[in-house]
Amino acid sequence: MSRQGKFWMVAALLGVVGMAFRVSWNALKDIASAIGADPLAAGLYPLVVDGLMALALVAALILTGADRRFALRVLGAFTAASLVLNYVHGLVPALHAGGRVRLADWAPAHYALVLLASCLPVGSIFFGSDLVAKVLHHKPEPAENDQSTANRSTPDQPEPADPTPYPSVYESADPASTPEPTPGPVEVAAVRPVRAVAAVSSRPRRATGTVPQSARTKVPTRTAEELLAEARSATVGWSEEELTAERIRTAVRTSADRARTLRDTLKAERATAASPERPAVADKDEDGAAGEESAA
């Protein structure tokens, strides 16, 4: 419905309610005069009954749940009380002249009607205050949006029409394997631990952000001795020109700094291993020269 249509509907409703309030005003005013109210109190009495009915109706439109049911019960009770008093006003012609008169010839009925008319102002104070407090403390429920849908668990969400597997967010900590150099037929391949590969899920998964430290794959830590032993095994058949830091880093898969350290250590070991052989060669040459002199 357009805004203009809503405006005219609300205006018509207010007009009907205003006319109905004016009709009920006269009956309730005469009832108040009959139970002993002064002219001012009798003129305000219709506001106590019909006014609380309007307040309860507005509260029922705002509140939800048990509070809304309470507002509807208050609305129904005051509507029934107003209906009874208007009915009595129509049955007793003496009420139209004003002043104190009996509301019914039967004494119990008269006392019950006087009690009802006298309790309505007190009930209006109590129930009206309670309804206003409930409206002021009411918190509207948030509407379901995309964020609440995203927070649902996977079984609660509908299955996609054509699910396609997505790669796992957990990546292996080891870098991609690269082809190892083959400098010679006597090279011994380095033993590498089996790399764990995360299984690809058959159902789509939402990105979970940063992987927690406890869920990451632990990288095996090699000590300096283990790394040196692996480098010795990998460089057995290498010459001095082939013994470079880059080739060592690729062979044992370590950092550049450690590769340079390994290169210097291996060169130092080769130099130390070769140094004792030089005096033996010199002694051999001296013995050969001495034998030649004795022969001469």
The per-residue pLDDT for 234 is: 85
pLDDT reported for residue 67: 93
Mean pLDDT for 210-214 is 67
pLDDT band at 84 (very low <50, low <70, confident <90, very high): very high
CB neighbours of residue 47 within 10 Å? 15
For 199-209, the pLDDT digits (tens) are 555 665 665 56
Give residue-wise pLDDT tens across range 43-71: 899 988 988 998 999 999 999 999 999 99
The reported pTM is: 0.47
Q: How confident is the model at residue 146 (pLDDT cuts 50, 70, 90)?
A: very low
- At 282 the pLDDT is 47
Distances (CA, A) of 251 to 30, 100, 279: 108, 115, 35
250 band by pLDDT with thresholds 50, 70 and 90: confident
- The size of the chain, in residues, is 296
Mean pLDDT of the chain: 76
Handedness of CA 251, 254, 259, 261 (dihedral sign): negative
